[in-house]
């Protein structure tokens, strides 16, 4: 089975090989891939699965700690596999967070159930050791997932002669990065997607890659490249 990286190119039939068209998709580990965007359909599927999880399991959770356990193990755990590969719109994340808070605080399990929140927002996400409820922050978890992916990508993409799961993204990054001499895929780590936005060919990338790139750039490190001795700078 063959899926072209460039949606603007067509490939002739190959003997014994199924060439996917522009509107066709193929699933790998449950994640659909294709030249056309599949994010809207996947987000809709995840949203339905998210709300169905509360309806299915709310009877098992009668205490606050029990509802936290149910939310983490029976609802959120079913989403994390998919959210590693698809960008969830901020409006959807806010809806999910609101539903999660209502379920934990008052056992509300219907999508449109009302709830008056009297507890300060900051208290909801603090660790229990600090006096909080430790409700999962979905926005923080999604950012952490993207950062973990970038770190895995950095480790696996350092060898140019090795072809692995990073090869396709490596070739894509070389196409979208500004042309300034020798181009390496890992140059995106030091290029500002905000300052050099007009020089980056965003149309070739997915919304997930754009969000991941910007999340990486917005991190504030205690030690930066300029703080290292000259002989330790890459």
DSSP character string of 164-225: STTHHHHHHHHHHS---SS--GGGGGTS-TTTTGGGS-GGGS-HHHHHHHHHHHH---SS-G
Sign, CA dihedral 48-75-138-196, equals negative
d(CA 112, CA 139): 21
Which pLDDT belongs to residue 218? 81
For residue 115, pLDDT beyond 80:
no
In this prediction, residues 157-186 reach a mean pLDDT of 73
d(CA 61, CA 173): 46
**DSSP per-residue letters across 40-90:** HHHHHHHHHHHHHHHHHHGGG--SHHHHHHHIIIIIIHHHHHHHTTSPPPH
Which pLDDT belongs to residue 196? 67
- Model confidence pLDDT, tens digit, residues 180-226: 666 677 777 777 777 766 777 777 777 888 888 888 888 877 766 67
User: Residue 70: how many CB atoms within 10 A of its CB?
Assistant: 21
Q: Which pLDDT band, with edges at 50, 70 and 90, does 151 fall under?
A: confident
Which pLDDT belongs to residue 1? 46
Which pLDDT belongs to residue 217? 81
Identify the residue with better confidence: 158 or 68. Answer: 68
Across-strand partners of 17? 14
Which pLDDT belongs to residue 193? 76
Q: Which pLDDT band, with edges at 50, 70 and 90, does 64 fall under?
A: confident
User: Which stretch, 41-45, 75-79, 201-205, has highest mean pLDDT?
Assistant: 75-79
Sign, CA dihedral 74-80-82-86, equals positive
Across-strand partners of 14? 17
Q: Which pLDDT band, with edges at 50, 70 and 90, does 122 fall under?
A: confident
Mean pLDDT of the chain: 79
Which pLDDT belongs to residue 215? 84
- Model confidence pLDDT, tens digit, residues 89-111: 999 999 999 999 999 988 888 88
Q: In angstroms, what is the C-alpha Rg of the chain?
A: 21
Identify the residue with better confidence: 70 or 217. Answer: 70
Quick one: which H or E segment has residue 149?
helix 138-156
Q: Which pLDDT band, with edges at 50, 70 and 90, does 149 fall under?
A: confident
83, two tokens: 């959210």
In this prediction, residues 146-150 reach a mean pLDDT of 87
Q: Considering the chain, what percentage of its residues have pLDDT values greater than 90?
A: 18
1, two tokens: 């089975």
Between the two ends of the chain, the Cα-to-Cα distance in Å is: 39
d(CA 12, CA 10): 7
């Amino acid at each position: 089975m063959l899926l072209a990286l460039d949606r603007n190119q067509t490939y002739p039939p190959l003997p014994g090989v199924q060439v996917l068209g522009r509107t066709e998709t193929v699933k790998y580990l449950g994640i659909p891939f294709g030249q056309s965007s599949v994010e809207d359909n996947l987000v809709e599927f995840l949203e339905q699965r998210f709300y169905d999880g509360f309806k299915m399991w709310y009877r098992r959770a009668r205490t606050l700690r029990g509802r936290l356990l149910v939310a983490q193990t029976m609802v959120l755990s079913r989403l994390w596999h998919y959210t590693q590969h698809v960008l969830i719109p901020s409006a959807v994340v806010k809806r999910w967070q609101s539903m999660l808070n209502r379920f934990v605080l008052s056992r509300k399990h219907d999508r449109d159930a009302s709830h008056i929140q009297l507890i300060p927002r900051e208290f909801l996400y603090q660790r229990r050791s600090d006096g909080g409820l430790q409700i999962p922050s979905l926005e923080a978890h999604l950012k952490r997932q993207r950062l973990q992916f970038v770190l895995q990508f950095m480790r696996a993409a350092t060898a140019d002669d090795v072809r692995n799961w990073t090869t396709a993204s490596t070739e894509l990054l070389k196409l979208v990065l500004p042309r300034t001499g020798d181009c390496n895929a890992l140059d995106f780590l030091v290029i500002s997607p905000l300052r050099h936005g007009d020089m980056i060919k965003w149309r070739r990338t997915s919304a997930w890659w754009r969000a991941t790139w910007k999340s990486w750039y917005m991190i504030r490190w205690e030690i930066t490249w300029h703080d290292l001795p000259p002989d330790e700078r890459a």
